[in-house]
Amino acid sequence: MFRTSLFLLLASAPVWASAQFPTTIKTKYSLAAEPPCAICHTNGITGIGTVNTPFGTAMRMHGLVAGSDASLNTALDAMAAAGVDSDGDGVTDVDELKAGTDPNVAPPSTDGGMGGGTGGGGGTVVGPPKYGCGATVVPELLFLAGLVPLLRRRSRRD
């Protein structure tokens, strides 16, 4: 019982702590909608060790730390200054965020893939996420579910 409680507590806390990142990005760039968790995580799987998209990896390389808004802002500023373009489409990741497009996805080339056509601005980011870091209720409940048995066990010892 103790191990299960501890696992639930530890497994849910990192997801719960970083759930504010989409809101922070929306606020920082005055976006119409929060970017989906999929800009950093794939398949709706969030938590420590799941930041695996090109944009998410670039964010980690520029100082992103789970649960730290300060590190998120620092990483975004560093990427803007460096002109990071994770999908190689000629538009920086920060400019794609501002435009509401996905910094991980280069649009199809207009030259049939021969390299001389126009591009820029990855696929459109569609609405807020319905899972992952946007679903903050579930991680909070897991956190509480892990905390209650730990508190009960401690009170029995005292």
pLDDT at 133: 53
DSSP state of 40: T
Query: Is residue 90 a part of any domain in this protein?
Result: yes
Query: Is residue 112 a part of any domain in this protein?
Result: no
Question: 67 is written with which tokens?
Answer: 């649960």
Query: Is residue 43 a part of any domain in this protein?
Result: yes
pLDDT at 115: 45
pLDDT at 129: 40
pLDDT in tens, 109-148: 655 444 444 445 555 444 444 444 544 444 444 455 565 6
Q: Among 60, 57, 59, 123, which Cα is nearest to 89's?
A: 123
Query: Is residue 42 a part of any domain in this protein?
Result: yes
Query: Is residue 28 a part of any domain in this protein?
Result: yes
Query: Is residue 116 a part of any domain in this protein?
Result: no
* Total H helices, total E strands in the chain: 6, 0
Domains contained in the chain, number: 1
Domain that holds residue 21: 2-102+124-157
Longest CA span, the chain: 73
To the nearest 10 degrees (0 to 180), the angle between helices 2-18 and 137-157 is: 140
How much is the pTM? 0.62
Is the four-CA dihedral 25, 33, 132, 150 of positive or negative sign? positive
